[in-house]
Amino acid sequence: MRRIALITGALAVLVLAAVTLNTANAAPRSVQGSVVSLVAPTVDESMNTLDVEVVGTFQSFSSDYDDRVIKLPLGTAQELLDTKGANVLVVLLDETRNTASMAKRVSDQVQALGLEVRTWDWLNDFYWKTVALYDRQFGVLRLIVLLMVMLAVVGAINVGVLERAGEFGTMRALGNTSWDVMRVVIVEGTLLGMIGALVGVALGIGLALLISKIGIPMPPPPNSNLGFTALIRLGPSVVVGALLVGLFATVLASVAPAVRVSRLPIVEALRRIV
């Protein structure tokens, strides 16, 4: 009888078609010490069995993974499968951002052995498809926010420009061209947009930090039993993107009022002074 070591030594992971012992709804202490029989085909396609003692249980993020996987020492797994080798070696990292650098280091070391190194994102194309889907969804949301900001800013700038039509008429009467008037309106809109975008980004960062400190409880995703706490991750690209959206929307919103007031006849513009 072999003992299943879950946390020490070299571990082997077996994915079985069926697991006789179901511990999904059982307390960890109720299954510890139980003796189970593992039946698996060997590399020669013959059946082999091995009795093992359960010394612990584990739970991962995926319920399907928990229903089909057991962990046991490498030597025990090789005895069950009647082999001296291993088909896959899995390296776990503390930080996901170290994946590329570590993959290169490992690849340089095992290249002479004829082994191939594959990263988790290369093996799981579903991840990148999901990322692309969310990028498209958030792209549409950014477009909607841009349009909403433009509509709100157009109204505010349009009212301000029309109230100052007399001033722009005086500029035209003193020899300034329509382009000069347009430039003044657009520059003012750009400055207002920059100030508003900076204030909005500062408030957004503060709210994001506060919400992340509290946490957003999320239900378990499909094929999972565990929920998680979502956070708002701030990065340079996110902050710069929000800043550019506010600035770009204000600049675009300034164009239409600038064109309208620049085409206003000088006489009509001067009448609005009174």
- 53 forms beta bridges with 3, 35
- Give the chain's mean pLDDT: 79
pLDDT over threshold 60, residue 9:
no
Least confident of 5-14, 49-58, 94-103: 5-14
Q: What is the structure's pLDDT at 223? A: 67
Q: What percentage of the chain exceeds 90 in pLDDT? A: 4
Q: Supply the DSSP string of the chain, one letter for each residue.
A: -EE--SSSS-EEEEE-S--SS--SSS-HHHHTT-EEEEEEE-TTS-EEEEEEE-------S-HHHHHHEEEEEHHHHHHHHT-S--S------S-GGGHHHHHHHHHHHHGGGT-----HHHH-HHHHHHHHHHHHHHHHHHHHHHHHHHHHHHHHHHHHHHHTHHHHHHHHHTT--HHHHHHHHHHHHHHHHHHHHHHHHHHHHHHHHHHHHH-EEEPPPTT-S--EEE-----HHHHHHHHHHHHHHHHHHHHHHHHHHHTS-HHHHHHTT-
Q: Could you give the CA distance from residue 54 to residue 146 in angstroms, rounded to a whole number?
A: 58
pLDDT over threshold 90, residue 113:
no
Tens of pLDDT, residue by residue over 216-255, are 888 877 767 777 788 888 888 888 888 888 888 888 888 8
Q: What is the structure's pLDDT at 215? A: 86
Q: What is the structure's pLDDT at 34? A: 82
When pLDDT is averaged across residues 75-90 and rounded to a whole number, the result is 84
| Higher pLDDT pick, 16 / 256 | 256
**pTM to 2 decimals?**
0.58
Provide the residue ranges of all domains of the chain, joining segments of one domain with +. Answer: 2-88, 94-123, 125-271
Tens of pLDDT, residue by residue over 197-218, are 899 899 999 999 999 888 888 8
pLDDT over threshold 80, residue 123:
yes
pLDDT over threshold 80, residue 62:
no
* Per-residue confidence band for 1, with pLDDT thresholds at 50, 70 and 90: very low
Q: What is the structure's pLDDT at 152? A: 80
Helix axes 125-163, 165-173, angle to 10 degrees: 70
Tens of pLDDT, residue by residue over 145-179, are 878 877 887 888 888 887 888 888 888 888 888 88
- 14 forms beta bridges with 70
pLDDT over threshold 60, residue 13:
no
Phi, psi of 132 (to 5 degrees): -65, -40
Q: What is the structure's pLDDT at 198? A: 92
Q: Which residues contact 73 (CB under 8 A, 6 or more apart)?
A: 2, 4, 5, 9, 10, 11, 12
- 72 forms beta bridges with 12
When pLDDT is averaged across residues 39-65 and rounded to a whole number, the result is 82
Q: What is the structure's pLDDT at 30? A: 55
Q: What is the structure's pLDDT at 17? A: 39
User: Sign of dihedral through CA atoms 258, 261, 265, 267?
Assistant: negative
